[in-house]
Structure 1
Amino acid sequence: MMMNLFSIFDPTSSMMNFSLNWVSTILGILFLPQTFWLIMPRINFIFKKIFFSIHQELKVLMGNNAFKGTTLIFISLFFFIMMNNSLGLFPYIFTSTSHLTMTLTLALPLWLSINLYGWINNMNHMFSHLVPQNTPTILMPFMVLIETISNLIRAITLSVRLTANMIAGHLLLTLLSSTGILMSTSMTFFLILIQILLLLLESAVSIIQAYVFMVLSTLYSSEVN
């Protein structure tokens, strides 16, 4: 009987018949307390450097009309997604960001709150976004329809983009590793080298996808101001 490839994203980790799959989502919190009682100047310096670099970039994207502290929401979102993406690369750890249940839970409330705030407080501004500048009059109805659909599916595209990228890399690693038992010794070493390179690529993808999710969410929020 052929096993479903997507079953690798649903490990049966359990304790006393209690599923522990989604517990890995908050696994990164266990690493936080050590910063309060261990002296790690280098790690703290790197963390603060990344934090302030992202903060300065988001301030530029959001403009001068953003509320103070708004960047903290998106920076927290970035670190949370990056943590879950990175932890999913370890063996026997559930990759929560490879499921639409997780990614849509992050994207949908954020998109909904941004749009509710925009339509309640800046309705004229939101209507003006439906028709780009210098649009011919005959094309205006079509542009309104296209922009409306584009706005409605933003939460879906955010979540699907993150999920698809996480699934693609993990499936590729699984497909290559499943052929290892059929290869000769020399080809096995070559396969291990390819797997290591793919693992490095996936490590970069886990950071890049978290960054893309954060930047797009920031750009969507900047449109309502």
Structure 2
Amino acid sequence: MMMNLFSIFEPSSSIFNLSMNWISTSLGLMFLPYLYWASPSRWLLLWSKIIQTLHKEFRALLQPSHFGSTILFVALFSLIMFNNFLGLLPYVFTSSSHMAMNLSLSLPLWLTLMLYGWIQHTKHMFAHLVPQGTPFLLMPFMVLIETISNIIRPGTLAVRLTANMIAGHLLLTLLGNNGPSLTLSILTFLLVAQILLLILEAAVAIIQSYVFAVLSTLYTSEIN
């Protein structure tokens, strides 16, 4: 039962034994090109306003020496949001609900930050392991706790995004599978519930991409 339930999130369509579902990750690019060469539209003005707002927020979180990194986090937000929204369309593979993609976003970013921090700011990174005012007897335990919390950061980023995307899709699937066996009155209620859940999933798609980008920005700001 569980294997069949979660199999909806696994790549299944293929051509010549080549999985084609992951191509949905690049479908977001279809929405971008005309923004740069077409005449300005309301959608272009809205998207430009969103990018400017995100740039200001990320800039406020970063150190002055890292202000140029805002373009990376805005691009990360855009990629995750496009993939989350595409997953709400029927028969479109939700790549952001897989740990393979989410870890490929969080792990290289975290590893790059750690290597840069420990090579360029070694003393500052060591100082982060022991918070100011920690008693001498608790210092070894604080070093252990801070080290573990730093190591699990990419995993928590990936698991948070994966779990939130899977939860809503599972609920929609479970409710939708019961449709053929329901009466007309209950089916009407089910349709209303499905529409409300889709609206909620659209909000979750934006919130989770924003949370992923903001937490990545906060991790970067710790490297002085």
TM-score between the two structures when normalised by the length of structure 2: 0.96
Q: Sequence identity, in percent?
A: 60
Amino acid at match of 1:21: N
CA positional deviation for 1:64: 1.9
Is the Cα contact below 8 Å between 2:129 and 2:146 reproduced in 1?
yes
Amino acid at match of 1:85: N
Determine helix, strand or coil for the equivalent of 1:200.
helix
Q: Residue 143 of structure 2 corresponds to which residue in structure 1?
A: 144
Q: Residue 108 of structure 1 corresponds to which residue in structure 2?
A: 107
Q: How far, CA to CA, are the matches of 1:126 and 1:83 in structure 2? A: 35
1:167 partnered with 2:183: no
Higher deviation after alignment, 150-159 or 31-40: 31-40
CA positional deviation for 1:189: 0.4
Deviations 1:113-145 (A, max 9, x none): 000000000000000111112212221111110
Q: How far, CA to CA, are the matches of 1:147 and 1:37 in structure 2? A: 48
Q: How far, CA to CA, are the matches of 1:215 and 1:2 in structure 2? A: 33
**Count of residues paired in the alignment:** 224
Within 5 Å, give how 1:1-225 maps onto structure 2: 4-66=4-66, 68-225=67-224
For structure 1, which runs of at least 5 residues remain unmatched after alignment? none
TM-score between the two structures when normalised by the length of structure 1: 0.95
Determine helix, strand or coil for the equivalent of 1:65.
helix
CA positional deviation for 1:39: 2.2
Deviations 1:6-63 (A, max 9, x none): 1111252233443211000001112222224432421111111100101011111003
Is the Cα contact below 8 Å between 2:97 and 2:161 reproduced in 1?
yes
Determine helix, strand or coil for the equivalent of 2:103.
helix
Amino acid at match of 1:8: I
Deviations 1:71-102 (A, max 9, x none): 00000000000000110010111100111100
Is the Cα contact below 8 Å between 1:59 and 1:71 reproduced in 2?
yes
Q: How far, CA to CA, are the matches of 1:41 and 1:92 in structure 2? A: 29
Is the Cα contact below 8 Å between 1:11 and 1:92 reproduced in 2?
no
Deviations 1:165-184 (A, max 9, x none): 11111001001111112211
Is the Cα contact below 8 Å between 1:9 and 1:95 reproduced in 2?
yes
Q: How far, CA to CA, are the matches of 2:180 and 2:208 in structure 1? A: 32
